[in-house]
Amino acid sequence: MKLSIKIILLIIVIFLGGITQAALAKSYDLYVDEDCDESDADGSKDKPFCSISDAIEEASKGDEIYIAEGSYKENVSLPNRIKLIGSSESKVVIEGYVEMDDGSSIESLTVSGSSISVRVKKDASVEIDGCTVKSFTKVGIQTEIGGGSLKVEDSKIRSSKGKGLYIQAGKKIEITGNEIYDNNEEGVDIRANVSGEISNNLIYDNGESGIELIVGKSNLVVKSNSIKNNGASGIANQFYAAWSKTGDISIVSNVLSGNKKYGIDCNIPSKGAESMSAGYWKNSISLSKNKIEKNKLASINNDCSLIKVVDEEEKKANEITESTTAEKEPVTISEEEEIDEKSEEDENIEKRLSSISEEFSLEKGSIYKLVSEMNEENNWKIFLIGHKPEDIFQIESFSEKLVDYLGELESFSDKTGNAELLKDINNLQEKIKTEMITIQGAEQQIKDSFSLFGWLRDINYKLFSK
């Protein structure tokens, strides 16, 4: 009997020891260091992998991958529940894109370059903490249409030719404590039917609006942000007929200052105003305890109908201060000469506007025809090999050209003070943005279409696009 008890105790000790050892082993996970010995690498702390992709191949769900200081020139596809942890936000740089699947996260590292730096897959819930995303050409962080959630905190999204964040329909978001600045387009661009919170962020010096959002079916709290000195409005609310249901947007305790258009704007970029219900903006947007001042055109666009000019109590509650224009001094000869020079520049801008409008209309017609033809292709052909790579490339090239047009138009806004010309520029910008949403949606749908040998199509597409 005594022997039996000893054996049982020994088994228990071995079992518990095994659990402890497994737990300790878990703490090691996998390691990456660009200064490595490739011939001897096994992912341990002493023998780290040389690339992040090698570590990912060996990783299992729930693993953490620790990355040493260095510059890693690779595109990273992060599977379910894998976590990348850099040793330093500024000294661990992934020069490529990071694609994130459900349950994955990145922490304390920089993602630099690529057209879209961080790509969140459909229905994925992911986290980004203490990272820098910079120097991208289209979008810093983009989510695909679908469910799931995105949490971005204590990060910097900056210094790019594109927009900081592009959140597509269906996502739940928590964007907190970030700096989003110096991007050529919007700081945060939110499509319809998005829920969650944008709070305690610094959003400034972006080329277009600080936050742009389609109100329809969105349920958002925009709270305690500083949204300053952006190239369009602080917060630009939009109505689209396709998303005509009211939203629930609470704008609370923000500072909206120094933006080139409005502190808060409301507009209808495309046709469909007739489908807007009476009091749509008032029923969708509420304001409380905001400080709105020194915006170029006005604190709030009158089209919003949110706060009546005569309602001094409501204006006071939100600390709304309308911009005042100083009395003009008499024009001197040198100023007259400057006005003549600007008029000549305005003429050049008008000519280029006409040219862009004509090019845009012609190319748009060709692309719509191509998309229509692709949608009518034989289903069996699509199932087997997918669409032609050159057709996909043509659509993508047009999408990139639209981005270039918007950049050019934005530069015109900075060069002219002519109100009528600014209106024409703004109208063309909105027209192009509307078509961009449609084209990018069609592009994504075509790329997502299933094909049995889709991998072959993807290889052909990569070769063709080079």
3-class DSSP state for residue 411? helix
Tokens of 343: 């008029």
Phi, psi of 438 (to 5 degrees): -65, -45
- pLDDT confidence band for 458 (50 / 70 / 90): low
What are the tens digits of pLDDT across the range 123-181?
999 999 999 999 998 899 999 888 999 999 999 999 999 999 999 989 999 999 999 99
19: exposed, middle or buried (C-beta count within 10 Å: 0-12, 13-18, 19+)? exposed
What are the tens digits of pLDDT across the range 230-267?
999 999 999 988 788 999 999 999 999 999 999 999 99
Contact in structure between 5 and 40 (CB atoms under 8 Å): no
Rounded CA Rg of the chain: 26
Mean pLDDT comparison of 251-260, 362-371, 448-457, highest-scoring range? 251-260
User: How far apart, in whole angstroms, are the C-alpha atoms of residue 114 and residue 139?
Assistant: 9
Supply the pLDDT for residue 331.
34
In this predicted model, which residue has the larger pLDDT, 417 or 211? Answer: 211
Supply the pLDDT for residue 19.
44
At residue 236, what is the residue type?
A
Residue 46: pLDDT over 90 = yes
User: How far apart, in whole angstroms, are the C-alpha atoms of residue 387 and residue 449?
Assistant: 9
What are the tens digits of pLDDT across the range 59-86?
999 999 999 999 999 999 999 999 999 9
**Is this model's pTM higher than 0.85 or not?**
no
- pLDDT confidence band for 324 (50 / 70 / 90): very low
Average pLDDT over residues 195-212: 97
Tokens of 49: 């992998």
Supply the pLDDT for residue 346.
81
Contact in structure between 195 and 222 (CB atoms under 8 Å): no
Cα angle: 291, vertex 292, 293; to 5 degrees: 115
User: How far apart, in whole angstroms, are the C-alpha atoms of residue 48 and residue 33?
Assistant: 6
Mean pLDDT comparison of 259-263, 304-308, 366-370, highest-scoring range? 259-263
What share of the chain has pLDDT > 70, as a percent? 77
What share of the chain has pLDDT > 90, as a percent? 51
Cα dist from 306 to 202, 222, 232, 293, 298, whole Å:
24, 16, 19, 16, 13
Supply the pLDDT for residue 254.
96
Domain boundaries, the chain: 333-465
Supply the pLDDT for residue 392.
72
User: How far apart, in whole angstroms, are the C-alpha atoms of residue 36 and residue 2?
Assistant: 54
- Which of 304, 408, 394, 269 is closest to 349 using CA atoms? 408
- pLDDT confidence band for 347 (50 / 70 / 90): confident
What are the tens digits of pLDDT across the range 418-445?
778 888 888 888 888 877 777 777 766 6
Rounded to the nearest 10 degrees, what angle do helices 419-448 and 333-375 cross at?
20
Supply the pLDDT for residue 431.
82
